[in-house]
């Protein structure tokens, strides 16, 4: 991918906020009230969706939300058979 095409500028407002463009919000399915994690590096700030972990085994593999709780496919299968 063209690196320059990925470089856009946003201005920080007086409260320290920046606006995430609608196209990016759509791409990452970000809705008002959603939480993002950020990591700070020497020269960059990385935003990412929180990694959902299974409440039973802590795995982050194919985690889905069942009754409002994150659960992995393997544990979901186990629950079905127990």
Query: With binding defined as CB under 5 A, does residue 56 bind Zn ion?
Result: yes
Question: What do you get for the CA distance between the two ends of the chain, in Å?
Answer: 48
Among 18, 24, 57, 79, binds Zn ion (CB under 5 A): 57
Site string for Zn ion, 25-54 (x = CB under 5 A): -----------------------------x
**CB-wise, 47 or 79, nearer to Zn ion?**
79
Q: What is the 3-state secondary structure (H, E, C) of 21-49?
A: CHHHHHHCCCCCCCCCEEEECCCCEEEEC
Query: With binding defined as CB under 5 A, does residue 63 bind Zn ion?
Result: no
The CA distance from 25 to 22, in Å, is 5
Query: With binding defined as CB under 5 A, does residue 72 bind Zn ion?
Result: yes
We find the least distance from the C-beta atom of residue 80 to Zn ion, in angstroms, to be 13
């Amino acid at each position: 991918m063209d690196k320059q095409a990925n470089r856009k500028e946003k201005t920080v407002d007086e409260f320290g906020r920046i606006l995430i463009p609608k196209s990016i919000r759509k791409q990452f399915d970000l809705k008002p009230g959603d939480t993002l994690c950020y990591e700070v590096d020497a020269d960059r700030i990385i935003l990412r969706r929180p990694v959902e972990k299974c409440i039973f085994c802590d795995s982050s593999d194919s985690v889905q939300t069942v009754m409002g709780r994150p659960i992995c496919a393997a544990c979901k299968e186990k629950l079905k058979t127990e």
